Amino acid sequence: MKKYIAIGHWNESENITSVAEVTYTMKHFKDDLKGNEFTAYIVLTEKRFEKMKDMTGFEILEEIKGSMSNYRHILTVVDYIEQCYDIMEEKMEEVEW
């Protein structure tokens, strides 16, 4: 089982947030998000997420640009990671194995 974190928004809101979960595959996590009406801009593995800890905005942009299909939200995601990394880190720690 692996930990994943998604950045996006709930369908009834346009406010960006993140959701973390432990699951067997990324596909299962994405399917669960869709079923709960969460639109994910990007999904990161725990390893990739931790790699971004000390990165700056441009470095984060370079790291994630190939992973996003909707480039309209890429700067929003970069800003969210930069400003809310500590919140996302707490969510990852709270997720139980």
Residue pLDDT tens, the chain, 97 long: 999 999 999 999 989 999 999 999 999 999 999 999 999 999 999 999 999 998 999 999 999 988 887 788 899 999 999 999 999 999 999 997 7
Burial environment of residue 14 by CB neighbours within 10 A (0 to 12, 13 to 18, 19 or more): exposed
Burial environment of residue 6 by CB neighbours within 10 A (0 to 12, 13 to 18, 19 or more): buried
Tally the domains of the chain: 1
* Total-model pTM: 0.92
d(CA 47, CA 62): 16
Q: What is the span of the domain harbouring residue 33? A: 2-94
